[in-house]
Chain A
Amino acid sequence: MSMENTLLAPVLAAPRRRGVWQVRIAVAIVALLALFIVAAPFIAPHDPDLVDLAAKLQGPSAAHWLGTDHLGRDMLTRLIYATRISLGSVAIILLLVLALGIIVGGASGFIGGRFDRIVMRFCDVFLTFPTFVLAMFMIGVLGIGMVNVIAAVVLSHWAWYARIVRGLVLSMRERDYIAAAEIAGAGRVRIFTEHIMPGVLAQLLVLATLDIGHMMMHVAGLSFLGLGVAAPTPEWGVMINDARQFVWTQPLLVLWPGMMILISVMAFNRLGDALRDRLDPAFRIEHC
């Protein structure tokens, strides 16, 4: 590396706006997935649960663009309907995790003192578990089902968010404009909701977008193990599990649902990266 490069290194390390077209594609994919969730019955060409054993395990054709599964159900239709469960569950999980994180972490960081210490010790206990093991244990205790998968993922992840929100609140409290608001006579509640939370929420949004992919894979992994939705309901992870016995004869059946997961996760990750670069270049948390 030459001298010029050395001097330029900090400039090179700074995030640059690259790949605008990638972000556009990512936005388009997310919009398409949202459309699938809202309008699945209008877009999907067939009935997702219509069993037609005469047409089972077909390859792609004009009638069935992506072929049919082992019960002759249309793959494309099931993939579209599956978006509802696979992504909808993640949306619910994120909302709950964010709500818990903001309430617990926000209160902990803002009130401080002994309350803060006790709450953080409580979070530490949850952070001690390996998340996937904790989620499996909770499903074991609660029973199999998508609602319990959601509960398990929320309970195994909320403490991460509480910790992060607390950290963000603490760093916001040190800012000069908070002191200015205090001097101006703003009340504690007002300072919290109007001066601290907007900054915290912006950074949380970035983090949550980057985490959608991670959550999706958690949910898909659990439902791949058969711990999520029951038989006829389409869901990407379950569809991969259903198709596994046909890996040798009709590998496309495994390929499609995984492709849906891969593409959605890539879109959300790219979007999260772009949001992060845009909102706060200095903010970087790699977290699992």
Chain B
Amino acid sequence: MLRFIAGRLALIPLMLLGVSAVVFAMLRLGRGDPALDYLRLSQIPPTDAAIAKARVLLGLDRPLVEQYLTWLWDAVRLDFGVSYATRRPVLDEFLYYLPATLQLAAVALVVTLAVSLPLGIWAARHPDKLPDQIVRGIAFIGVSMPNFWLGFLLVMVFSVWLGLLPPLGKGGVEHMLMPVLAVSLMSLSINARMLRTSMLEAGGQRHVLYARLRGLSDGNVTRHHILRNALLPIVTATGMHIGELIGGTLVVENIFGWPGLGRYAVSAIYNRDFPVLQCFVLLMTLIFVLCNLVIDILYAWLDPRIRMFAERSR
């Protein structure tokens, strides 16, 4: 197990190196001449002499590889420079907004798992009966519902119509209910449907039949012989859901005035605030990679076959 974890950890720097190369290439290809940006923001007229001076100052006259390495070294030290818009260090601003986003996404993940697992099990234990049809119906609508629109629907019902929940801001549990539901409904639906399918599949295997023939109780069979196998695809899917939950959070924050990275990133896009954008993409990817590392480890822990295969292929 330790060797498995070590192997995965060793991969992460390589992945991040690739990520940084893509980000650097896009910044260089997409944004035009950084020297012009610099002059525009410093309010210096872009004469030829000024451009040439700025290029030397920014190191743009160096070979591209050297520029990349300098940039990478700054990024590794988490030095992303100052925001064009606010003139404050980007990292400080990012870390100021990050906790709210992580909080929303994390609660949404917990809700996704806490709701989808019972729903999926309930549906799979009564295939094609009423519970199954209810769950399938919810899941079908859930995967088709745009998260931001669901946010507005919830505001209409619970704030405008019933006056029960506050439509904006961050505070207690009552502020979290609607954003969390809006963010998590889609992953929740996909999970419930997937668990239902994989439980029905696992239930058809011979070791389950054998367990039943041994006279084990229904609950016992479900817990120990069906669920353990059926949960594996859910663990893999959770890795993907984390990406979707982060994306959903960034959108939904804009509806509920949630003080997270969503609005910060959107305003950076409007301002073409490149230091903020590169910090945003690099650190969010880092967080995503770390989440997936946890998922991988969990998967290997749950499924000895993966662990052994990874160790043998070494």
Q: What residues make up the interface of A, taking CB atoms closer than 8 Å to B? A: 1, 3, 6-7, 9-10, 12-13, 121-122, 124-126, 128-134, 136-144, 213, 217, 220-221, 224-227, 237, 240, 244, 247-248, 251, 254-255, 257-258, 261-262, 265-266, 269-270, 284, 286-288
Q: Can you offer 14 A-B residue contacts whose CB atoms are under 8 A?
A: A9-B200, A12-B127, A13-B204, A125-B18, A129-B22, A132-B246, A132-B247, A136-B269, A137-B26, A140-B265, A255-B153, A255-B156, A262-B141, A266-B144
- 1/0 per residue, CB under 8 A from A, across B200-237: the answer is 11011000110010000010000000000000010001
Does B300 count as interface, using CB distance less than 8 angstroms? no
Quote the shortest CB–CB distance from B99 to chain A (angstroms).
17
- Most B CB contacts (10 A, CB to CB) among A129, A237, A254, A262 go to A129
Quote the shortest CB–CB distance from B89 to chain A (angstroms).
19
- 1/0 per residue, CB under 8 A from A, across B18-37: the answer is 11011100110011000000
Quote the shortest CB–CB distance from A266 to chain B (angstroms).
4
Does B145 count as interface, using CB distance less than 8 angstroms? yes
Does B190 count as interface, using CB distance less than 8 angstroms? yes
Quote the shortest CB–CB distance from B241 to chain A (angstroms).
7
Are A140 and B141 neighbours in the complex by a CB distance under 8 Å? no
- Most A CB contacts (10 A, CB to CB) among B148, B160, B244 go to B148
Known: A133-B250, A244-B255, A262-B144. A128 touches B19 (CB 8 A): yes
Does B285 count as interface, using CB distance less than 8 angstroms? yes
Name the residue of chain A whose CB is nearest to the CB of B241.
A288
A124 to B35, CA, bound (A): 32
By secondary structure, the A interface counts as: helix
Within 8 A of A (CB), among B101-159: 125, 127-128, 140-141, 143-149, 152-153, 155-156
Given contacts A124-B18, A132-B251, 6 further A-B contacts (CB under 8 A): A12-B128, A136-B266, A144-B270, A224-B251, A240-B148, A265-B145
Quote the shortest CB–CB distance from A90 to chain B (angstroms).
13
Pick from B153, B240, B248, B285: contact of A129, CB under 8 Å: B285
Does B272 count as interface, using CB distance less than 8 angstroms? yes
Chain B residues with a Cβ closer than 8 Å to the other chain, count: 69
- 1/0 per residue, CB under 8 A from A, across B272-302: the answer is 1110011011001100110000000000000
Name the residue of chain A whose CB is nearest to the CB of B17.
A125
Within 8 A of A (CB), among B238-270: 240-244, 246-248, 250-251, 254-255, 265-266, 268-270
Quote the shortest CB–CB distance from A244 to chain B (angstroms).
7
Are A121 and B203 neighbours in the complex by a CB distance under 8 Å? no
Does B194 count as interface, using CB distance less than 8 angstroms? yes
Report B-chain residues with C-beta under 8 Å of the C-beta of A270: 140
A266 to B186, CA, bound (A): 13
Name the residue of chain A whose CB is nearest to the CB of B287.
A130
Are B149 and A130 neighbours in the complex by a CB distance under 8 Å? no
Pick from A141, A144, A287: contact of B30, CB under 8 Å: A141
Are B250 and A136 neighbours in the complex by a CB distance under 8 Å? yes
Report A-chain residues with C-beta under 8 Å of the C-beta of B265: 136, 140
Known: A225-B254, A266-B140. A130 touches B247 (CB 8 A): yes
Are B153 and A258 neighbours in the complex by a CB distance under 8 Å? yes
A23 to B26, CA, bound (A): 43
Report A-chain residues with C-beta under 8 Å of the C-beta of B274: 140-141
Are A288 and B160 neighbours in the complex by a CB distance under 8 Å? no
Are A124 and B15 neighbours in the complex by a CB distance under 8 Å? yes
Pick from B140, B147, B200, B212: contact of A12, CB under 8 Å: B200
Are B23 and A225 neighbours in the complex by a CB distance under 8 Å? no
Pick from A13, A128, A237, A287: contact of B200, CB under 8 Å: A13
Quote the shortest CB–CB distance from B233 to chain A (angstroms).
7
Quote the shortest CB–CB distance from A275 to chain B (angstroms).
16
Does B83 count as interface, using CB distance less than 8 angstroms? no
Known: A133-B285, A227-B269, A240-B148. A288 touches B200 (CB 8 A): no
Name the residue of chain A whose CB is nearest to the CB of B204.
A10
Are A286 and B233 neighbours in the complex by a CB distance under 8 Å? yes
Quote the shortest CB–CB distance from A117 to chain B (angstroms).
14
Quote the shortest CB–CB distance from B166 to chain A (angstroms).
14
Quote the shortest CB–CB distance from A134 to chain B (angstroms).
7
Are A244 and B144 neighbours in the complex by a CB distance under 8 Å? no
Does B67 count as interface, using CB distance less than 8 angstroms? no
Are A133 and B284 neighbours in the complex by a CB distance under 8 Å? yes
Closest 6 A/B residue pairs (Cβ):
A132-B247, A258-B149, A125-B18, A10-B204, A141-B30, A137-B281
Pick from B140, B160, B250: contact of A269, CB under 8 Å: B140
A121 to B155, CA, bound (A): 44
Name the residue of chain A whose CB is nearest to the CB of B27.
A141
Known: A12-B200, A13-B203, A140-B272. A128 touches B18 (CB 8 A): yes
Pick from B31, B237, B266, B288: contact of A226, CB under 8 Å: B266
Are B160 and A247 neighbours in the complex by a CB distance under 8 Å? yes
Are A132 and B18 neighbours in the complex by a CB distance under 8 Å? no
Quote the shortest CB–CB distance from B79 to chain A (angstroms).
19
Name the residue of chain B whose CB is nearest to the CB of A266.
B144
A142 to B27, CA, bound (A): 9
A186 to B12, CA, bound (A): 43
